[in-house]
Amino acid sequence: MIKRLVVWCTLIGIALAWPAVIYSRSEPAARSVLAIQVEGVISPSTADYIIRAIKQADREAAQALVIELDTPGGLDLSMRSIIKEMLAAERPIVVYVSPGGGRAASAGAFITLAAHVAAMAPGTNIGAAHPVNMGGQMDKEMSKKVTNDAAAYIRTIAEQRGRNAQWAEDAVRKSVSATEKEALKLKIIDLVADKLDDLLAALDGREVTTAHGKVMLHTKGVEVTRIEMDLRDKILKVISDPTIAYMLLMLGIAGLYFEISTPGAILPGALGGICLILAFYGLQTLPINYAGLLLILLAIILFIAEVKVVSYGLLTVGGIVAMVLGSIMLIRSPEPFMRISLSAILLTTAATAAFFGFIVTMALRAQRQKTTTGAEGLIGQIGTVMTPLKPEGSILVEGELWSAQCEDGAEPGDKVRILAVKGLMLFVSKDYEAVAVEADAPSTQQRQGGRT
């Protein structure tokens, strides 16, 4: 009887639990949507940030990763590393060109087309993806090769995502662009949404194909978790800016020069070394013109030479001219966002010239001053005879006991003037003027007696 009761209770429990099992299989577990915001140039630090977010979305099995994008373009190598991860992603990636006034130009167009879902906010644009040589002009043959490579790359991306491949190729070959309405009509993007919440509502129920297979999106009302740049990515993004990298270079050079000219200061040398290392990291991602770099080094040499050579400011003027020209030539790029700000160049040049001018002024002032330390600084000083000078003995000068020689001889207590120094021997003569002044001065007792 008891066994039957246990069996019946078990069957009833299974029957009651079965609908819950069916429901759990039919409805996905609530998972959040991850979101990141990418603004500015596509650089190595930006690529690291996006790739880290893609891997986190795969690891956490997020509903989707939304990349809010606003970029003028960037480096080809960084762009390709991002797209490689996007094409291999297991979770849906949504690129949302926003906010209004934003753009997905050049490298940004490639990244947008590579998304599983591409969306744009009102007032945005996409396109102008013609490749440019960051180091300046390319010859005709090389330009043709680079353009053909980029055109084939963007076409295959567009075809894989079922987008307008012809327009994508024209964006590379003809630098065409499109507004959000035109992009939607031309089947370049999938959606236009005013804000992120509207985008998530529109995505709900959409099926996309990832590297893992078909995935149904359940994004309506889902929690959005934002992934921020970590401290490392933020620092690398800042120092990858051409103007910041340039200023770090100049600060590093100034710090090392100060340490060399003033040994033992330590702090300027340490800070200068740190600035140079950070500058070299930033400059490695930029199209450096070595002629410009050599002109900057020449300017530093001219500033240093001004300390050693009397040129009446001609070397300083030459250094300023070389620094301005070198700074302008340092980074050659047709893209404005990859150039050094002219105001930063003028400000840095003025500050550097002022720094070296200060060093030159201090050096000249030191050269004109009378020597007051070491053996040469003793010449002309007054000493007191401690042991008889017949002709050799000892005298006390500034609290130090020295061997001295006086041709006329001197007795203990006499004042003598130092005429020359040879090794550890001082050559002195009686300072009769000092003795006379001391003799003429009334004693304390006489002054007191005069008052009474």
Residues 6+ apart with CB under 8 A from 179: 124, 125
Residue 354, CB-side half-sphere exposure with 13 Å CA sphere: 6
pLDDT of residue 69: 96
Q: What are phi and psi of 378, to 5 degrees?
A: -80, -25
> Of the given ranges (15-24, 286-295, 423-432), which has the lowest mean pLDDT?
15-24
Answer whether residue 4 is part of any domain.
no
What kind and span of H or E run contains 444?
helix 444-451
CA 149 to each of CA 43, 127, 172, 176: distance values in angstroms, whole numbers, following the listed order = 20, 17, 10, 17
> What average pLDDT does range 250-273 have in this prediction?
79
Instruction: For the chain, state the CA radius of gyration.
Output: 39
- Other CB atoms within a 10 A radius of the CB of residue 403 amount to 14
pLDDT digits (tens, 9 = 90+) for 110-155: 999 999 999 999 999 999 888 876 555 566 788 888 899 999 999 9
**How far, in Å, CA of 26 to CA of 395, rounded?**
106
Determine, yes or no, domain membership for 174. yes
**Residue 28: strand pairing partners:** none
User: With pLDDT > 90 as the criterion, what percentage of the chain qualifies?
Assistant: 38
- Maximum separation of any 2 CA atoms in the chain, in Å: 139
Q: What is the pLDDT of residue 40?
A: 87
Most confident stretch, 199-208, 272-281, 353-362? 199-208
Report how far residue 135's alpha carbon sits from residue 44's, in angstroms, rounded to the nearest whole number. 17
Query: Residue 194, Cβ neighbours under 10 Å: how many?
Result: 12
Q: Are 312 and 417 in a shared domain? A: no
Q: Quick one: 381 and 363 in the same domain? A: no
Is residue 157 domain-shared with residue 275, that is, in the same domain? no
Coil, strand, or helix at residue 116?
coil
pTM score: 0.67
Q: Which secondary-structure segment (H or E) carries 38?
A: strand 33-39
> Where is the domain boundary, 168, 197, 232?
232
Residue that terminates a domain, selected from 368, 399, 433: 368
Verify that 397 and 324 share a domain, yes or no. Answer: no
Instruction: Pull the structure tokens for residue 333.
Output: 């790029």
Res. 42: pLDDT tops 80: yes
Q: Dump strand ranges (E) for 55-161.
A: 64-70, 93-97, 103-105, 117-120, 125-127
pLDDT at 220: 85
Are 168 and 280 in the same domain? no
Given 106, 177, 327, 333, which residue is catalytic?
A: 106
Res 306: pLDDT: 72
Any domain includes 296 = yes
Confidence of residue 7 (pLDDT cuts 50, 70, 90): very low
DSSP 3-state assignment of 284?
helix
Task: Note whether 206 and 129 are same-domain residues.
Answer: yes
Together in a domain, 83 and 136:
yes
Q: Is residue 57 part of a domain?
A: yes
Distance of CA 139 to the CA centre of its chain: 32
End-to-end CA, the chain: 137
Distance (Å, whole) CA 119 – CA 93: 11
Do 350 and 392 share a structural domain? no
Q: Does the residue 411 lie in any domain?
A: yes
Residue at 9 is within a domain: no
| β-bridge mates for residue 66, sequence order | 35, 94
Query: 205: which DSSP letter?
Result: T
314 is in which domain, residue-wise?
241-368
For residues 329 and 283, state if they share a domain: yes
Assess whether the previous peptide bond of 391 is cis (omega < 30° from 0).
Answer: yes
Residue 375 has pLDDT above 50, yes or no: yes
- Residues 220, 341, single domain; the answer is no
Confirm whether 7 is domain-assigned. Answer: no
Question: Taking the C-alpha atoms of 19, 22, 24 and 27 in order, what is their torsion angle to the nearest 10 degrees?
Answer: -120
The enclosing domain of 38 has a CATH number of 3.90.226.10
Domain edge (last residue) among 368, 385, 419: 368
Q: Please report which residue ranges of 161-266 form alpha helices under DSSP H.
A: 165-173, 180-185, 196-203, 231-239, 242-261
Q: In terms of domains, do 163 and 214 share one?
A: yes
Helix (H) or strand (E) holding 430: strand 425-430
H or E segment and range at residue 122? none
Q: One-letter amino acid identity for 148? A: N
Asked if the structure places residue 75 within a domain, the reply is yes
Of residues 145, 187, 220, 234, which has the active-site annotation? 145
* Domain tally, the chain: 3
| pLDDT > 50? residue 20 | no
CATH of the domain at 384: 2.40.50.140
Q: Is 175 a catalytic residue?
A: no
Helix residue ranges, H only, 134-230: 140-160, 165-173, 180-185, 196-203
Quick one: DSSP state of residue 98?
-
The answer to whether the beta carbons of residues 72 and 105 sit under 8 Å apart is: yes
Residue 132 sits in the same domain as residue 55:
yes
CA–CA distance, 393 with 385 (Å, rounded to integer): 8
Tokens describing residue 264: 């033992």
Told to judge if 78 belongs to the known catalytic residues of this protein, a careful annotator would answer no
The answer to whether 382 touches 415, Cβ cutoff 8 Å, is yes
What pairing do the DSSP bridges indicate for beta strands 103-105 and 425-430? Answer: unpaired
- Contact of 121 with 193, CB cutoff 8 Å: yes
Least confident of 39-48, 232-241, 332-341: 332-341
DSSP 359-420: HHHHHHHHHHSPP-STTGGGTT-EEEEEE-BSSEEEEEETTEEEEEEETT-B-TT-EEEEEE
